[in-house]
Chain A
Amino acid sequence: MTKARKAAARRCLTTMLLALFALAWQGCAGTAVRDVPQARLQAIKHNQRGVDAGSKGNQDAALAEFTEALRLHSSIENWDGMVVARINIARTHRLKGDPASARRALERALLVLPQSTDLASELFFENAKVYLAAGDLAAAQDWALQAAAADKGSELGRRLNLVGAILFRAGSPEQAREKAEQALKLNRDRKVEAEEANSLRLLGEIHLAQGREGQAAESFEAALLLDKSLGLAKKIALDLRGLGAAALQKEDLPAATAYYGRALEVSRSIRDTASAAGDLAQLADLKRRSGDAPAAQKLDEERAKLTSEERKLSGPISARSSTGP
């Protein structure tokens, strides 16, 4: 064997030993999976399936999965799991347009909420959403503030957005603005883009209500960019409507018409009939203001047709639209 061959064989052996060492090190460094009880694993799977079904708009299937998850968690007295399942049940009921059932689920969750859990914030947040959906702004504000106070930091931007939105609806725009700006900063710092867009949209609405159309348009534009990047169609339509309202406040009728037209197309494409009907009404009003009565008449007829078609189909408009993306 020549010297060169010996050196090559040594290099090869060294490489193999290093590779073996690396493999062994990787294997040992992996996290040891704790032995989780079968019932708990099954419950987690049902919960996961429920979340998946809900994201596809199949709320009934989601409820069935969450109920099964709750049963399994209850069988092993896993309090955290029970609270999670009940929050998900409540949220699904709320999205189905049934705040009464949602409230019942949350009341039961509050009864089993462990003292030393960080789930309280999410539970209070959902309570606030349920009261907001039922139109009880005082109770909603109370729960939203509790949710923000109980938050350990990870979701504070989202909690503050809700507090701001409730304050704005309750007629306190200045306080709402303060909360929205806090939320925007937190969401930007933590790169929570969907909530950052929500903060911007809320700020846009507040600016618009206080007569600052320019700042409102900027906020809506920024929100639109984020929502487009995330592919959130319903939010895109909301941003476009905000931009349309800002343009309308500036008496820029062509721009307003263009924005509302874009919002209409987005709503139509996701079959959000109620929003589409609202856009058509807005567009008809704009046409009338521009002196184009025939076009306004046509848009009104289109809206009437859309509404009657929606009525013929099963379920109220609000219930269907609430299951959208």
Chain B
Amino acid sequence: MINEVDPRFRHLKKKIALFAVVALAIVVAVILLIGKENDLFVKKYELSFTVDKGTGFTRGLPVKLSGFRIGRLKSISLNEAAKVDIVLQIDERYRKWIRSDSTVKLVKEGLVGDAVIEISVGSPEKSVLQDGNQLVYQKTKALDELADELGEKVKPVLSDISDIIGYLNDPNGDIKQSLKNFNQLSKNLEKTRQNTDSLLVQAGQEVGTVSGKLSGVLDDTSATVKRANAAMAQVEQKLPALLGHAERSLDNMAQVSQDLKRFEEQELPKVAPLLDKAEQALGETNSVVDAAKTIWPLSGRIKAPQERQFVPGDSHD
């Protein structure tokens, strides 16, 4: 039989009530924490944009501005034009940064990181976007598109490398032929060396013969040198006389040069005044002639200068 006054059941009601209160407090704290984490208690406004393909966009996708999370993707839906309308939910406190020239794009955080929506900071002189306004979507290339692009760029390089390898391996190509020729040249060089050896042996044998002939040539040379000596002796005899003549000619030239210099110094300065006088005399003569032209009987025979004299201008020239 159970004792009704068992000490373990004493204050049981109070204990249950305390337990319930603590549990309820924990549940409320958890809800608050989750709500805060999900920005449930922050005032928000909505912005939207439209994309061609919804690939990469999922509900709840974080929205970032300068690396800070400022909201999330609220909804994604297909519109009448078969394009994708995306609505973002942004914290009210970040409104001041998002302006009419702000753009939105889908980016990856790192090469294999999570996708995030990034909004750029707008210019201060532009207007702040209001609830429900449209953002401009800036398309970014997906990894597969980048890979395709890279592939297109690499293709010709690979093709060139393939061509080069083919060229190098071609048995009739320049490289292979050059190597073949080089081998042939090496073989021929060996033959050449052998020929050179035999040539040197022959040369050694013929040097004796040549030296015999050389001696005859030297004899002839000796005779020629003797004749040259005789000629030189004659020249030596005649040279002093010739030099004497040349010296006298040079003296004469020096004399002439001195005379010319003296003439230049003494007579040349007289030339300019003489020319002046001649010009003056000519001018005076002209005046006399001009005056004479005006005196009878010449005045009647000499035509007075005509001012209106034209180049003949025929009607049919």
Chain B CB within 10 Å — which of A41, A47, A161, A198 has the most?
A: A47
Chain A residues closer than 8 Å to B297, beta-carbon distance: 26
With an 8 A cutoff between CB atoms, is B215 at the interface? no
CB distance from A203 to the nearest CB of B (A): 12
Chain A residues closer than 8 Å to B316, beta-carbon distance: 161, 165, 198, 201-202, 235, 238
Chain B 298-317 interface residues, beta-carbon cutoff 8 Å to A: 299-300, 304-317
With an 8 A cutoff between CB atoms, is A259 at the interface? no
Residue-wise interface mask of A (84-97) relative to B, using a CB-CB cutoff of 8 A (1 in contact, 0 not): 10011001100100
With an 8 A cutoff between CB atoms, is A213 at the interface? no
> Interface size bucket, B side?
20 to 34
With an 8 A cutoff between CB atoms, is B296 at the interface? yes
With an 8 A cutoff between CB atoms, is B138 at the interface? no
Q: A30-B299, A33-B299 are in contact. Are A80 and B307 (CB under 8 A)?
A: yes
Chain B residues closer than 8 Å to A235, beta-carbon distance: 316
CB distance from A6 to the nearest CB of B (A): 34
Chain A CB within 10 Å — which of B299, B306, B307, B312 has the most?
A: B307
Give the residue of B296, B299, B305, B313 whose beta carbon is less than 8 angstroms from that of A126.
B313
Q: Is the CB of B306 within 8 A of A44?
A: yes
Chain A residues closer than 8 Å to B307, beta-carbon distance: 40, 44, 47, 80-81, 84
With an 8 A cutoff between CB atoms, is B183 at the interface? no
Complex Cα distance, B33 from A98, in Å, reads 101
Give the residue of A41, A84, A194, A195 whose beta carbon is less than 8 angstroms from that of B310.
A84
Residue-wise interface mask of A (159-199) relative to B, using a CB-CB cutoff of 8 A (1 in contact, 0 not): 10110010000000000000000000000000000110010
Q: A30-B300, A31-B299, A33-B299 are in contact. Are A92 and B305 (CB under 8 A)?
A: no
With an 8 A cutoff between CB atoms, is B294 at the interface? yes
Q: Is the CB of A62 within 8 A of B311?
A: yes
Chain A CB within 10 Å — which of B300, B312, B313 has the most?
A: B313
CB distance from B163 to the nearest CB of A (A): 56
Q: A26-B296, A27-B296, A30-B300 are in contact. Are A48 and B309 (CB under 8 A)?
A: yes
- How would you classify the secondary structure of chain B's contact residues: helix, strand, loop or mixed? loop
Q: Is the CB of B300 within 8 A of A122?
A: no
CB distance from B289 to the nearest CB of A (A): 13
With an 8 A cutoff between CB atoms, is A129 at the interface? yes
Chain A residues within 8 Å of chain B by Cβ, number: 42
Complex Cα distance, B314 from A162, in Å, reads 9
Chain B residues closer than 8 Å to A238, beta-carbon distance: 316
Nearest residue, chain B, Cβ from A55? B312
Chain B residues closer than 8 Å to A81, beta-carbon distance: 307
Q: A26-B297, A30-B299 are in contact. Are A161 and B315 (CB under 8 A)?
A: yes
Q: Is the CB of B313 within 8 A of A125?
A: yes
Chain B 44-94 interface residues, beta-carbon cutoff 8 Å to A: none
With an 8 A cutoff between CB atoms, is A244 at the interface? no
Give the residue of A33, A84, A195, A202 whose beta carbon is less than 8 angstroms from that of B308.
A84
Instruction: Enumerate chain B interface residues (CB-CB to A < 8 A).
Output: 294-297, 299-300, 304-317
Enumerate 14 A-B pairs (CB-CB under 8 Å) in ascending A order: A27-B295, A30-B299, A40-B307, A44-B307, A51-B309, A55-B312, A80-B307, A92-B311, A122-B313, A126-B313, A129-B313, A129-B317, A165-B315, A165-B316
